[in-house]
């Protein structure tokens, strides 16, 4: 009996520790999610390497997917994000571009993809929720993807000088609505 306990307890300790670590990673990724969507959101973890594929850590029942980008190439020490599942190909492509450390080279690669039509478009009207900066007191930010939208097509300004919602990167696949404040 003592032998069985001495074998089972260490295995149980490893399992409990792994579960706590997974739960902590899930909780961190969900920090950017709005309260009403959080409990049913999917959580993915981006794999190391240059392919930018992911593992599903927790399958959700709504269309929101959250992930941790903290410390990935081109990202800060703390950054988590949530968006629609349909935007995951765009996220993977964004991560590839962010891994280009030279700012000028990264912008040239983005411009080339935009021009030759290989830039993955986000889902029109999808929301991107961000939490970044300091994990203890993050800065929250939200944008709404409107790929291809212009001031003429949306009736909104292309800058924030008036203090209201505006279109950033108008006319591109990166066009999105910026909201004033955090």
- Across 135-164, average pLDDT: 93
Token pair of 170, please?
A: 């108008």
Q: Which is more confident, 19 or 162?
A: 162
* Structural domain containing residue 30: 2-122
Q: Which is more confident, 160 or 4?
A: 160
- % of residues, the chain, pLDDT over 70: 87
Global pTM value: 0.83
User: How many domains are there within the chain?
Assistant: 1
- Across 156-177, average pLDDT: 93
Distance CA 174, CA 38 (A): 26
24 is a domain residue: yes
The helix/strand/coil state of 8 is: helix
9 is a domain residue: yes
132 is a domain residue: no
62 is a domain residue: yes
Span 9-63, pLDDT tens digits: 444 344 444 444 578 899 999 999 999 999 999 999 998 777 789 999 999 999 9
Q: Which pLDDT belongs to residue 13?
A: 41
Q: Which pLDDT belongs to residue 17?
A: 41
Task: Check if the beta carbon of residue 158 is closer than 8 Å to that of residue 166.
Answer: yes
67 is a domain residue: yes
- Across 115-121, average pLDDT: 96
Q: Which pLDDT belongs to residue 112?
A: 97
Report which of 51, 33, 98, 103 is spatially closest to residue 70, judged by C-alpha positions: 98
155 is a domain residue: no
Q: Which pLDDT belongs to residue 74?
A: 75
134 is a domain residue: no
56 is a domain residue: yes
With 0-12 / 13-18 / 19 or more C-beta atoms within 10 angstroms meaning exposed / middle / buried, residue 145 is buried
């Amino acid at each position: 009996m003592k032998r069985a306990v001495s074998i089972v307890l260490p295995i149980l300790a490893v399992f409990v520790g792994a579960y706590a670590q997974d739960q902590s990673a899930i909780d961190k990724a969900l920090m950017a999610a709005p309260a009403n969507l959080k409990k049913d959101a999917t959580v993915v973890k981006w794999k190391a390497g240059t392919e930018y594929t992911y593992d599903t850590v927790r399958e959700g029942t709504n269309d929101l997917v959250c992930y941790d980008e903290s410390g990935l190439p081109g990202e800060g020490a703390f950054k988590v994000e949530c968006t629609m599942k349909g935007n995951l190909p765009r996220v993977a492509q964004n991560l590839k571009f962010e891994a280009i450390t030279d700012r000028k080279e990264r912008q040239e690669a983005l411009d080339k993809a935009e021009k030759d039509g290989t830039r993955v478009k986000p889902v029109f009207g999808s929301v991107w929720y961000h939490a970044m900066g300091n994990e203890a007191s993050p800065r929250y930010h939200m944008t709404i993807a409107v790929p291809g939208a212009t001031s003429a097509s949306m009736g909104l300004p292309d800058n924030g000088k008036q203090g209201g919602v505006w279109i950033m990167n108008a006319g591109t696949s990166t066009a999105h609505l910026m909201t004033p404040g955090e």
